[in-house]
Structure 1
Amino acid sequence: MTAHNELRLLPWSGPEGKPCFLSTDDGAGFLSRLADTTEASQLSTGAEVLKRAVNVLADGEVAPEELRPVMAELIGSLRDVLRVAESRGHRLPAQDSAEDSDDEEGPHLPAAAFG
């Protein structure tokens, strides 16, 4: 299986908010496992934040100042989940062009089409 990109986008930022990457063939190494655990935690946190936001919005009498912290949490969680999705998308196996035309019907979009 060949990945689209040899570098793995890690689920945390470096100095000045710049992305961090890992170059390894060992998906079971310490940093790979740490990244997997961090991604799982970020996805779980995102689900929890979404539930809280839904509950806040369901309250028809929520004050605007109560929305600000919920929005801040949602923004942070969305940023994390998008980074996880981007990282995982880059690690999907590349398909041969013959597979593209013979297998599934319908449009085939590159990962870049999803942001």
Structure 2
Amino acid sequence: MSHITGLRRLPWTSLEGKREYVQPGGILAAAADSCEESMVAAAREDVGRAQAIAGDECSCRAELREAIRFLSRAAEDAITVAELRGERLPPEEPMTNSGSSAMGETLVSRFEDA
């Protein structure tokens, strides 16, 4: 969750490299949504490029290193977007035994063991 309650972290930083926040809604939040969508689209393209290189039996070591760079950049973008969107999720409510599914109980026990 964001350390600043009620504000949304933007997918870019200030000129000084500091995180920036904005109130949800409005033009700046819409620009942030668009930026996140672009990051996901770029990640998909990078994965496609990497897969094409890896699938080509004639790819040399330099091309495979480039594929790794594509995948690394895609992973960075996907992680950033996941973190930003995760920060906007509402806090989880405590689970109760009444009405919880067997699947939910299994998942909870797996996380507790970790």
**Which category describes the TM-score, using the shorter chain as reference length?**
0.7 to 0.9
Distance 1:87 1:43, change over 3 A: same
Larger Rg: 2
Alignment of 1:1-115 (within 5 A): 4-5=1-2, 6=5, 7-15=7-15, 18=17, 20-24=19-23, 27-97=24-94, 100-101=95-96, 102=98, 103-104=100-101, 105=104, 106-108=106-108
SS at match of 2:92: coil
SS at match of 1:62: coil
TM-score between both structures, scaled by the size of structure 2: 0.73
TM-score between both structures, scaled by the size of structure 1: 0.73
**Which residue type is aligned with residue 88 of structure 2?**
R
SS at match of 2:107: coil
> Could you tell me how far apart the structure 1 residues matched to 2:13 and 2:75 are?
15
Which stretches of structure 1, 4 residues or more, deviate above 4 A after TM superposition? none
Superposed CA RMSD in Å reads 2.3
SS at match of 1:43: helix
Unaligned residue ranges in structure 2 (runs of 5+): none
Q: Deviations over 1:38-80 (max 9, x none)?
A: 0001101111111111111011120111123332232222211
RCO higher in structure (CA 8 A, sep ≥6): 1
Q: Deviations over 1:1-32 (max 9, x none)?
A: xxx4334232223446x4523141xx321111
Q: Does structure 2 conserve the Cα–Cα contact (< 8 Å) formed by 1:11 and 1:80?
A: no
> Could you tell me how far apart the structure 2 residues matched to 1:15 and 1:107 are?
42
